[in-house]
Structure 1
Amino acid sequence: MPREPSPDAPVFSVPWHAEVLGIANALMQNGMFSAVEWAETLGAEVRRLGDVGEPDNEETYYRAVLGALEQLVGEKSPDTRGLLLDRVEAWRRAYLNTPHGQPVTLDAAALSSHNDQDHDH
């Protein structure tokens, strides 16, 4: 049964939650995948996360949404999947190259890398 949010709670806790649903909806509206494919893929991802012991909470749900979206984009547009993986890696490098307490920007991906194990955020 869906949880009822408190009356004063924001609809989305963080902006990326709204953004990932907006992207999924736009891709569905533009025919990349159907509503049935979206529902089946999202349901499977929610079940998968539950099966591996992830908590039943909002953050896990939106991780499932993101996972389902990435899966469908990868299936429907392999070239886009490759670009997505490249961008994820660039953000990872940017995070590792950004001093603690500073905002992470994609420009930092091009900086010389720090050792992954020595980085602490």
Structure 2
Amino acid sequence: MTTSERAAAIVAVASVPNIPRDIDGPVFNAPWEAQAFAMTVTLHERGVFTWAEWAAALSAEIKRAQANGDPDMGETYYRHWLATLENLIAEKGVTTRDDLHRYRDAWDHAADRTPHGQPIALEPGDFA
């Protein structure tokens, strides 16, 4: 992690309540969680949204999930984070919900054809 990435992570942790963390900063249970966090920090740095907007959107997403029965045991935090990221970038016009669905379907197709333990790589045929 570069110095600027570390600084951005520190600001994010200070700005967004309840980020799972330890003394060194945010902690992640899987690589995709760190990637979603990094994408969010990058989009914030590019001015797509403020931390106040992010925190309000994430809070609303978590409340919506809890109202729908999410037991909030901690393991779903970054699922809510990712849903918030997808919703905000669609609302802000960075991408469309259709493109998000298209890539999600392509990823599922790529995962289905990839042998266990191998890296998943999107190919043009995954979008068919």
Q: TM-score, normalised by structure 1?
A: 0.70
Which deviates more, 26-35 or 77-86? 77-86
**From 52, 56, 59, the counterpart of 1:36:** 52
| Percent identity (aligned) | 35
Higher Rg: 1
Count of residues in correspondence between the two structures: 108
Task: Report the counterpart of residue 85 of structure 1 in structure 2.
Answer: 101
1:103 correspondence with 2:118: yes
- Deviation digits for residues 30-60 of structure 1, max 9, x if unmatched? 1111112101100001111111111212321
Amino acid at match of 2:61: E
- Deviation digits for residues 60-110 of structure 1, max 9, x if unmatched? 1111100000000001125454433322111111123335x3535235672
Q: CA RMSD in A?
A: 3.0
**From 86, 105, 128, the counterpart of 1:70:** 86
Amino acid at match of 1:103: Q
Which secondary structure does the structure 2 equivalent of 1:106 belong to?
Answer: coil
Alpha carbons of 1:5 and 1:102: their partners in 2 closer, same or farther (altered >3 Å)? closer
**From 45, 48, 56, the counterpart of 2:64:** 48
Alpha carbons of 1:87 and 1:54: their partners in 2 closer, same or farther (altered >3 Å)? same
Q: Which sections of structure 1, spanning at least 5 residues, go unmatched?
A: 114-121
